[in-house]
Amino acid sequence: MDGSQLENAMSGDRVVSGRDVMICMTDTAGKFTAVGDSFAAQCGHDSADMIGRPAAMLRDPDANGAVFCALWERLQSDRPAAFYLRNTGSDGRCFLVFAVFLPFPGGVISLQFRPNIPEAPNLLLQFPGCLAVNSCDQQLPGRQEMVDTLGVSHMSRMLLEETAARTQGAGSAAAVAQARKMTALIASAQGQVARIATLFEDIQNVPTNIRILAAQIERGSGPIGVISTNHTTLSQEMLSGVQAFRQSVSNTGEAIDDAVFPACATALIAEAAKVRHDPRIDDRLTRLQAGLSRDSDATTTRIAAEARRFAEVTTDLKRHVAGLDVTRIMCKIENARFKDRSSGLTEIISNLEDVQTEISDQIFEIEKASHRIATMTRRLKGGTSVI
């Protein structure tokens, strides 16, 4: 995203000059302890003059205070954060940045840079109206919405897109690309699981309808009634399997999202480290890189474990669907005995076949995704790439 595009999108705002990763550090009270020259210059202040002053001096006057409440809640619980925000320079004009906040014992380091994707202005984390507050009031309007919005999944996707745009061709590009592939795979799987759950809800009453129609044709509904009862039992087991499946996909997605921060932060720190900074910043970057390497190892191990469970649950789900297919086919065979008397049954069984075919197709796609994620994690564990 070039400067003119961004300036048009944020009418009246100043555009960040250059592509530098700008850095600043604060203590746990939110006061500056170190400020990089490029960040100070962008803000229109002298870096030395900013030391000891609150970071809130740069706050966008139109920003919702819930944004910063949610941010500090995350950072104080030792969790990183990343999102778009507007800083205010000494001239009173705002400028849009993508900011990554990494907590460490005694403070927070922030890596900020000009956004790279066109959607950036629409992704600002703020609600209409100004809430000029500095405290994290539990009843603050919009607070819970902001806490929810600052979820790992939402932030990791923004962080991935921004980092990928910066690291094309760089040494860290492979790790970021790998993270993007995994994120895309699990997002697709989550959509397919939701679709499977909907399809099962749609056919829950089908066996009952089959028994009712069969009873109108044959006393006691005959063998087809027994078969449809078996289908009901299998469907109920299948619904439990879908819930376990949904949870497994969710756990795998969370593990992948957690892996995004160390992958992207490592790439950004490697870029920032090419420029000399205040010694306190350089020291902190070195320490953070070592910690992120350990985080990468831990998240890779977790993804591998969740990917194995994901594959196992997928196999179980396929087995359930195979059982449903057998009972449906038996219903179809028995229905053939009724010939012209079973047009209603024929239509129901045909619709059931269509739905179960779609379920099988969805599971096939999910199975492919689980195998790809498992393969990627094996490569990661083997050192082919690092997340």
Q: What are the tens digits of pLDDT across the range 15-61?
A: 888 888 999 999 999 999 999 999 999 999 999 999 999 998 998 88
Each residue's pLDDT tens digit, 255-310: 888 888 888 888 889 888 888 888 899 999 999 988 888 887 788 888 888 888 88
Higher pLDDT, 147 or 191: 191
Please state, in angstroms and rounded to a whole number, the distance separating the CA atoms of residues 246 and 190: 7
245, 349: one domain:
yes
**Alpha-carbon torsion 64, 69, 75, 79, what sign?**
negative
Q: Taking all residues of the chain, what is their mean pLDDT, rounded to a whole number? A: 77
201, 146: one domain:
no
**Alpha-carbon torsion 348, 351, 356, 359, what sign?**
negative
Q: Is the pLDDT of residue 129 over 80?
A: no
With a pLDDT cut of 90, the percent of the chain lying above it is: 17
15, 62: one domain:
yes
**Region 89-114: what's the mean pLDDT?**
92
Tell me if 133 is assigned to some domain. Answer: no
Tell me if 372 is assigned to some domain. Answer: yes
* Segment among 1-5, 208-212, 222-226, 254-258 with least mean pLDDT: 1-5
User: Which strand (E) or helix (H) includes residue 117?
Assistant: none
Tell me if 267 is assigned to some domain. Answer: yes
Tell me if 18 is assigned to some domain. Answer: yes
Tell me if 161 is assigned to some domain. Answer: no
Tell me if 256 is assigned to some domain. Answer: yes
97, 201: one domain:
no
Model confidence at 130, pLDDT cuts 50, 70, 90, reads very low
Higher pLDDT, 17 or 213: 17
* Segment among 19-23, 35-39, 206-210, 321-325 with least mean pLDDT: 206-210
Beta strands in the chain (DSSP E): 22-27, 32-35, 81-88, 94-104, 107-113
* Pair 109, 288: CB distance under 8 Å: yes
**Region 380-385: what's the mean pLDDT?**
53
104, 212: one domain:
no
98, 183: one domain:
no
Cβ within 8 Å of residue 205, ≥6 positions away: none
310, 199: one domain:
yes
220, 333: one domain:
yes
Please state, in angstroms and rounded to a whole number, the distance separating the CA atoms of residues 52 and 31: 5
Please state, in angstroms and rounded to a whole number, the distance separating the CA atoms of residues 269 and 110: 11
Tell me if 387 is assigned to some domain. Answer: no
Total number of domains in the chain? 2
Q: CA 117, 386, 110: angle at the middle one, nearest 5? A: 50
* Domain membership of residue 16 as a residue range: 3-125+142-150
Q: Per the confidence metrics, is the pTM higher than 0.75?
A: no
Question: What is the chain's alpha carbon radius of gyration, rounded to the nearest angstrom?
Answer: 27
Q: What is the CATH classification number for the domain harbouring 20?
A: 3.30.450.20
**Closest among 111, 371, 150, 376 to 259, alpha carbons compared:** 376
204, 318: one domain:
yes
197, 68: one domain:
no
112, 187: one domain:
no
296, 185: one domain:
yes
Tell me if 231 is assigned to some domain. Answer: yes
* Pair 24, 32: CB distance under 8 Å: yes
